[in-house]
């Protein structure tokens, strides 16, 4: 279950409200392009800017839109335990395939506190849980021993998303937790290396803009076509860099707007892309042939 490219969708807004039509269209596009799963209300989905009701609505909407064609990974984590429990229980009732639960941010808990937090969540639901280790955002790291302890003590903690540039840490997680424990890359430039180490897939913001290519990266490695996968890894590198010229998901939303798929609107404390960054991003998109052809300039004429 949950192997491959799990596309962590942006949450499209229009005039301050969730743009449901655009959200459903993005899901349809992801499925048509071969994404193996859909992630909602994760980091790229601006969960901290959403109310709890809005997060529940997004999860339910995604499950309905996916219609069982691909699994939905619901972002349910929060710094607040009761909110996390509420969202995770809701994800279970709504029919999500699993919940992605981030380490509590800002408070900087110790490892015992992290263990108890995740144990409470796992014990409260009958739903697969994927831990989310993203120290650059949360200021706390799930250490290898803590992940292994949770994997051993909680049957429904099935994996971890490692948004962690430390490949030694990732190797030790895989070694301690076993090959059945699902490890996903949350770092775009480490998707291929983590697949090579035996990872279950990736949850890459780049899938918002190039879903077919990001999904194909997994498909190639699963087929043992490593040379082709390596070339695709390097082909994706400029886009991976461009989408992090400013804080995710601001560039991804701007890119989708340039492609005509959603607005670039973000909620505070994010701000619109700076003009100089927008120009650079547009240049990268053009290099990949992702910008719409202006009317009257269709190819094939002379």
Q: At what angle do helices 167-177 and 144-153 cross, to 10 degrees?
A: 30
Is the confidence at residue 217, as pLDDT, over 70?
yes
Can you name the residues that pair with 40 across neighbouring β-strands?
A: 74
Residue of 172 and 298 predicted with greater confidence: 172
Does any domain span residue 81? yes
Q: Of 74-78, 224-228, 231-235, 295-299, where does mean pLDDT reach its minimum?
A: 295-299
pLDDT at 301: 39
pLDDT at 300: 41
Rounded percentage of the chain residues whose pLDDT exceeds 90: 96
Does any domain span residue 247? no
Can you name the residues that pair with 162 across neighbouring β-strands?
A: 133, 185
Q: How many domains in the chain?
A: 1
Does any domain span residue 155? yes
DSSP codes of every residue in the chain: ---EEEEE----EETTEE-HHHHHHHHHHHHHTT-SEEEESSGGG-GGGS-HHHHHHHHHHHHHHHTTSS-EEEE---SSHHHHHHHHHHHHHHT-SEEEEEPPPSS---HHHHHHHHHHHHHH-SS-EEEEE-HHHHS----HHHHHHHHHH-TTEEEEEE--S-HHHHHHHHHHH-TTSEEEE-SGGGHHHHHHHT--EE--GGGGT-HHHHHHHHHHHHTT-HHHHHHHHHHHHHHHHHTTSSSTTHHHHHHHHHTTSS-----TT--PPPHHHHHHHHHHHHHTT-SPPPTT--TT--
**Which of the four pLDDT bands, split at 50, 70 and 90, describes residue 296?**
low
Residue 199 lies in domain: 4-226
**Which of the four pLDDT bands, split at 50, 70 and 90, describes residue 299?**
very low
Average pLDDT of the residues of the chain: 96
Is the confidence at residue 302, as pLDDT, over 50?
no
Does any domain span residue 164? yes
CATH of the domain at 196: 3.20.20.70
Does any domain span residue 132? yes
**Which of the four pLDDT bands, split at 50, 70 and 90, describes residue 293?**
confident
Phi, psi of 242 (to 5 degrees): -65, -35
Gyration radius (Cα) of the chain, Å: 19
Does any domain span residue 212? yes
Does any domain span residue 234? no
**What are the pLDDT digits (tens) for 122-174?**
999 999 999 999 999 999 999 999 999 999 999 999 999 999 999 999 999 99
**Which of the four pLDDT bands, split at 50, 70 and 90, describes residue 211?**
very high
Residues 20 and 5: their CA atoms lie apart, in Å, by: 23
- Catalytic residue numbers read 132, 161
């Amino acid at each position: 279950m949950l192997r491959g490219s799990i596309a962590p969708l942006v949450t499209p807004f229009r005039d301050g409200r969730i743009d449901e039509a655009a959200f459903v269209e993005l899901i349809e596009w992801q499925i048509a392009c071969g994404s193996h799963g859909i992630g909602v209300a994760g980091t790229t989905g601006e969960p901290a800017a959403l109310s709890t009701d809005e997060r529940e609505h997004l999860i339910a909407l995604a499950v309905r839109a996916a219609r069982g064609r691909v699994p939905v990974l619901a972002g349910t984590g929060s710094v607040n335990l009761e909110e996390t429990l509420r969202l995770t229980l809701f994800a279970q009732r709504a029919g999500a395939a699993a919940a992605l639960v981030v380490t509590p941010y800002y408070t900087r808990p110790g490892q015992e506190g992290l263990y108890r937090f995740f144990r409470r969540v796992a014990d409260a639901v009958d739903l697969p849980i994927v831990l989310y280790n993203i120290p650059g955002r949360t200021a706390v790291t799930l250490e290898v021993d803590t992940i292994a302890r949770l994997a051993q003590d909680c049957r429904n903690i099935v994996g971890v998303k490692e948004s962690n540039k430390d490949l030694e840490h990732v190797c030790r997680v895989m070694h301690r937790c076993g090959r059945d424990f699902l490890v996903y890359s949350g770092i775009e430039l480490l998707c291929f290396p983590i697949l090579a180490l035996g990872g279950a897939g990736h949850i890459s913001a780049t899938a918002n803009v190039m879903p077919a290519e990001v999904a194909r990266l997994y498909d190639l490695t699963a087929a043992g076509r490593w040379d082709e996968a390596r070339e695709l890894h390097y082909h994706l590198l400029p886009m991976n860099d461009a989408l992090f010229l400013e804080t995710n998901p601001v560039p991804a939303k701007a890119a989708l707007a340039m492609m005509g798929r959603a607005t670039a609107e973000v909620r505070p404390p994010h701000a619109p892309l700076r003009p100089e960054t927008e120009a650079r991003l547009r240049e990268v998109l053009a290099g990949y042939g992702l910008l719409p052809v202006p009317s009257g300039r269709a190819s094939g004429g002379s």
